[in-house]
Amino acid sequence: MKNGYKEISGEIEKTWVAIDSENGYWVERKIDSTINEEAIIPATCPICTFMMCGAYDTETFIRYDCCERCYIQFAESKTEQWKAGWRPDNDIVHQYIMKRKGKK
């Protein structure tokens, strides 16, 4: 595991990060009063399977269990249903993945 700080937009975010390259997880301890527990962030989004990238994906995953783009695409308009466990059908997710990849 590697320890260090993440650099975001030229500034060092106040986050301790350990990267477990064997399992593909970031283990983060945020120095933030609203998120004071250790969070395990997967390397890929559990919905679209694209790589988790940056602070927005991390924050969105902590709150909604998906990357920021999946939150915007699927969860934002159905926040209450999403929190209750609703997830899009596999066919819809597959279409979304193909669209992101530039395929129809």
What is the reported pLDDT for 40?
79
What are the CA-CA distances from residue 2 to residues 28, 43, 58, 93 (Å)?
12, 15, 18, 33
What is the reported pLDDT for 96?
95
Nearest to 74 by CA among 46, 52, 101, 102: 46
What is the reported pLDDT for 11?
47
Q: What angle (nearest 5°) sits at the alpha carbon of residue 27, between those of residues 25 and 30?
A: 145
**In degrees rounded to 5, what are phi and psi of residue 82?**
-60, -45
What is the reported pLDDT for 59?
86
Nearest to 39 by CA among 48, 30, 31: 30
What is the reported pLDDT for 18?
54
Distance of alpha carbon 26 from alpha carbon 1, whole angstroms? 10
What is the reported pLDDT for 24?
56
List per-residue pLDDT tens for the chain, 104 residues long. 344 445 445 444 455 555 555 655 555 544 444 554 566 788 999 999 999 988 888 889 988 999 999 999 999 999 999 999 999 999 999 999 999 998 76
